[in-house]
Each structure stands twice: as C-alpha cells, then as structure tokens.
Structure 1
Amino acid sequence: MSMLQFTVPPLPHYMLCGPSHYAPGGRHVSRRNVGVFDLLFVREGCLYMAEEDRTFEVGEGCALILRPDRYHYGTKGCEVPTSYYWLHFQTTGSWAATDGEPPRHGEEAYDEKRTQALWSYATHTFPIHVPQFVRLSQPGKAEELFEQLVKLNQSFYSGSAKWSQQSVFQELLRQLSASAAKDESTPAAACADQAAAYLRKHYREPVTAQELGERLNFHPVYIARCMQRYYGCPPMEYLLRHRIEQAKLLLLQTDHPVARVAEEVGFNQAAYFTSCFTRAEGLSPRKFRQRFAYG
C-alpha cells in the first residue's frame, strides 16, 4: 500500500472542496504539477485514474489522493453515472511518499538526551500516515464530513466556519488513515455506518429507534452498541447532534426565524429546539447567530 507520510506540526490544511458528477463517457481532466493535493472520494460509480504510470479504479466508497508534483489523468470514460467529491489541501510541512504499511511503533529504548529534550519548550514533530488509495471502512461517515465542508464553504467570510473546516478536514484524514487498518472493516462498523447514513438522510423526519431497527433489519440494541463504539453516541443522540449542526448552518447562512429553523431540522416545537440547542452549544440559537453570523 502506498502511503503519504506528513511530518506534523504543521498539519495539512484544507483549501476547498465540492461535489462533481460525470455522465457515462466523462473522464477526469489531465493535469501536471498542480501544486496541491487533490483528494477524490467517489459516492457512486467509478473513476478510472492514473498518476504517472500507476492506475486506479476509484469505485464507490473509495478515496484517492493525487500528489501535487505528478501528472494525473483519466484513463478512460466512466461506464456509469459517477458522482464524487473533490478536495484540495496543502501542507507547509515536509511530506514523503512511502511504500508498504505504516511502521508499527513498539516500546522505544530509553534515550537520555531525547528525554531531556522532550521536557524543553522546543516543538517536537511526528509523522502521520495517510493511504494514497483506500476503500473507506465507513464511507457514510466520510460522506457526512464532505457534506459539512461543502456547507461550510457557503460561510466563506466567517472565521468560525474556517476554523470548523480545518477541524472537519482533520477528522476526514483520520478516517482515511483508520481505513488502512484491515481490522476496521467489521460487521459492527458497517451497521453503525448504515445507521448513521439513514439518520442523516431522514433527520427532518420523526425517527425512532424501533423504526431504525426495522429499516436496517437489526435489533435496536445492537445498532445502539455499534454506534456507541464507532460514533461515540447512541442513534438518537447522533440524530440530535446532526440536527443541531444543520441548525447552526441555517442560522449562519439564512435569516430564517428560529421557529422555522427548528422546523427545517426536524423539531416540532421551537421551545424544545431552543432548549436542546442551548444545552449543546452553551448559548441560545439567537445569541449563536448574533455572535457568529458575521464572525
């Protein structure tokens, strides 16, 4: 497996992303030495890509990072309608391409000079490894992160939005790195991913744990355990968090009244929405808008 090794800090930083689509016969453009990393994540269909003499079939749920210093091109047209996200990122730190699995760090020998240096105020760098091509173990989670980045693009001049973009991008890189580990692709991870995808798709509608179990054909208790393990929360809490995130975007990007925002994201009562939002964010929807809409 080809890995990209980044020395951090500084961390790779997000620049811009967006959705794209090809009809059958469409192919990716050819570019040489573009100067930025180009991350492609396919939602459906397949992209046929090459970087120099290496070819890739980037199918549904797969991601490919094209290097900034190489020639890349589409090897042939798409055979079926293909939709994907593209994302440009860069690093001001050092990086390198390596072959093989990332090194597994065992217990290190004691080094007196190094130990003393760690107690100093100097900045200490370390490597992170991201696969150049990988099938995501949780493609639904990756798609959710891309959706967040695209929506945050609409608040280009908001300082809080830019900060959020970098945070979401780091989580996306972590998802790519975690997917390189073979033991991540488990039935439990697939169950959690399916549940999260369903909740994101139907967040505007009333959803119960029982309904979720019936839709996915899993027991609600099993779904809850899977989501707790891979998302850190049970389904209904995940749904609430997603609704709050969507509400934050509406508060920043529109001038809709709070009651309408509540309705748009699946709350039947504005007062309950305000209570949940305040508990999650530490301030009311109205104060959130006042503080961050023009941040």
Structure 2
Amino acid sequence: MKLLQFALPPLPYYIASGHEDHGPGMVHVDRCNIGLFDLLAVEEGELLVTEDGRSYEVGPGQALILRPDAHHYGTAPTRLRTRCYWLHFKHDGYWTATDERLPLYRDPRGAWNGGDASTGEELDSAHDADWKMNAPLFSVQMPQYADLVEPARTFELLGQLTALTSSGQVGGALWRQQILFQELLQQLSAGLDARSTSPSAACAAQAAAYLRRHYREDISARAMSDSLNFHSVYIARCMQKEFGCSPKEYLLRYRIGQSKLLLLRTDYPVSRIAGEVGFNQAAYFASCFAKYEGLSPRSYRQRFSHA
C-alpha cells in the first residue's frame, strides 16, 4: 500500500473543495504537476483514475489522494452515476511517498531517519539555524488510496468544508475550514493507527516514557528492562523501529532538549544544568550539546541574552 508521509509542522492546509454529481460517461480531467494534493472521496458510483501508470477504481466509501508532482487522468469513462467530493490542499513542508511506515523521528540536523529530507522542501530554511527553539517535528502518514474508516463522518466533514465556501473569504469561515480540514486528515490517517497498538509500538512507547521520567538519573539497560518486563535487546529493537534510534540516543536527545530549556529559562551555570539533566560531567555535557546543536551551551545562551 502506498503511503504519503508528511513532516509536521508546518501543517497541510486546505485550499478549496467541491461536490460533484455526474451521470455515466464522466472522465476525470488530465492534469500534470498541478502543485496541489487532490483528494477524491466517492459517495456513490466510481471514479476511474490513473496516476503515473497506476490505475485506481475508487468506489463508494473510498478515497484517493492524487499527488502534486505527478500526472493523473481519467482511465476510462465512468459506468455509473457518480457522486463525489474533491478537495485541494497543500503542504509546504517535507513529504514523501513510501511503501512502508517510517520512523517518526527527526534528528537535530533536519534529516528524517528512514527518509531523505533532501528530496523535498528543506525542513529548515537557510536562515533558520539549529540553535533556535523550534517546535518538535514529527510525521503523519496516511494511505494514498484506501477505504474510509468512518465514511459518514468523513463525508460530513467534506460537506461542512464545502458549504463554508459560500461564506466567502471571511476570516472566521477560513479559520473554521482549516480546523475541519485537520480533523479530516485525522480521519484519513485513522486506518493506520492500529500500528500504535502493536506489541513493538507499545514496548517503544513504554520505554520512551520511562526514559523521560528518569532522565535525570543514571539509567541502565538492566534497570529499564526489569521495570518494563521486556528484554533490553527487544526494547532496543522496538525503539529503533518506532523512533529510528536506540534507547541511549533517545535519552541523550531528550536530555539535550531539557538542557536548552534550562539555558533559556534560568541563570544556572552550565555545570549545574549538566547535573540537572542527568550528565555526570559538565565537559561531556558540553561535548554532546555541541555535537547536536553546533555550538556550546554558553554560546547557545548568549544568542538569547540581552547584553
């Protein structure tokens, strides 16, 4: 199954939508590289569409997302009366198409583990240096072509989005459209959420929670294994699969993140901050910080000082 993966933020955003009711014989338009994602959701009938050589028959209760960088066209005239919604949206961040679920973690230098950030929009603009306190990036995946998990709710959302177009370019209506669109995206990705309840995902989530709770302490693989009742090798395998990194790497990155907050919000000396976030030696803390942030803890703090 082809999946579309979006790095967030920024969030995908709604452009326009509509509802169509056609008799038999309708052919989808022929378009190439339109620069917009085109969501098609069928209430009744069928849509016969080909994208880059792959043909789809979108039936009732199904949806297809056509890519902004591909060539799509009607495979053949429809054989049935067809009622469907179309919706255009954009995503100005990094996205990719993949055949498998990828780790949901982004490393400090902007690359996604399991993906190639260089193939899409750069995650950070040229002037956005790594030392800034940015929102943590994560990713969302959704099937490009799939049965709708809750078709009634999906069509309700599409109907509300489309109805709001009659309100014109009024701020309140535009804001409401974006809120409804985000809920629609959640609906589209819901079919993949079963993965979050898999044994490996549950183990990885428990391990990550354990590391966040105890990050100020000396954490051993044995202690975490005993606490979670999972073998340390299994924990490491699960975290690599779900987060794209080892438990040790996850802990280190979390400690660095917490230290950045203390550097900004307190006047504690660097040696104290090192101890507050679980480093036994200030020199090792400074070395790790420089490795991931590209500058020393003191330099990081000075960038935000008034003097």
- Aligned residue for 1:124? 136
What is the CA–CA distance in structure 2 between the aligned matches of 1:104 and 1:66, rounded to whole Å?
Answer: 24
For 1:28 and 1:171, the matched residues in 2 are separated by 27
Write the letter of the residue equivalent to 1:134: A
Displacement after TM superposition at 1:124 (Å): 2.1
Contact 2:13/2:90 (<8 A) preserved: yes
**Cα gap change, 1:77 to 1:128, in 2 (>3 Å):** same
Partner of residue 24, structure 1: 24
8 Å contact from structure 2 (residues 104, 139) kept in 1:
no
The amino acid of 1:148's aligned partner reads: Q
Equivalent in the alignment of 1:38: 38
Identify if the C-alpha distance between structure 1 residues 161 and 122 changes in structure 2 by more than 3 Å, giving closer, same or farther.
same
TM-score, structure 1 as length reference: 0.55
Is contact 1:63–1:135 with CA below 8 Å preserved after alignment?
Answer: yes
What's 1:161 paired with? 173
Cα deviation, residue 158, structure 1: 1.5
Q: Contact conserved, 1:45 with 1:83, CA < 8 A, in 2?
A: yes
Deviations 1:239-260 (A, max 9, x none): xxxxxxxxxxxxxxxxxxxxxx
Which residue does 1:211 correspond to in 2? none
Say whether 1:85 aligns with 2:85: yes
CA displacement at 1:104 relative to structure 2:
6.8
2:149 paired with 1:133: no
When residues 80 and 177 of structure 1 are mapped into structure 2, their CA distance, relative to the original with a 3 A threshold, is same
What CA deviation, in whole Å up to 9, does each residue of 1:107-130 have, x standing for no partner? xxxxxxxxxxxx973232111112
CA distance in 2, matches of 1:5, 1:64: 15
CA–CA distance in 1 between the matches of 2:178 and 2:36?
A: 16
| Inter-partner Cα distance in structure 1 for 2:77 and 2:22 | 9
2-structure distance, mates of 1:97, 1:161? 31
Any idea what the Cα deviations from partners look like across 1:13-37, whole Å, max 9, x if unmatched? 0000000122111111111111111
Structure 1 alignment gaps of length 5 or more:
107-118, 184-295
Corresponding pairs, count: 174
Aligned residue among 135, 143, 160 for 1:148: 160
- Deviation string for 1:186-239 (max 9, x for gaps)? xxxxxxxxxxxxxxxxxxxxxxxxxxxxxxxxxxxxxxxxxxxxxxxxxxxxxx
The secondary structure found in structure 2 opposite 1:43 is strand
State, as a whole percentage, how many aligned pairs show the same letter: 46
Distance 2:134 2:148 in 1: 36
C-alpha distance in structure 2 between counterparts of 1:132 and 1:16, whole Å? 19
Task: Point out where structure 2 has 5 or more consecutive residues left out of the alignment.
Answer: 106-130, 196-307
Mapped to 1, the partners of 2:36 and 2:102 lie a distance apart of: 26
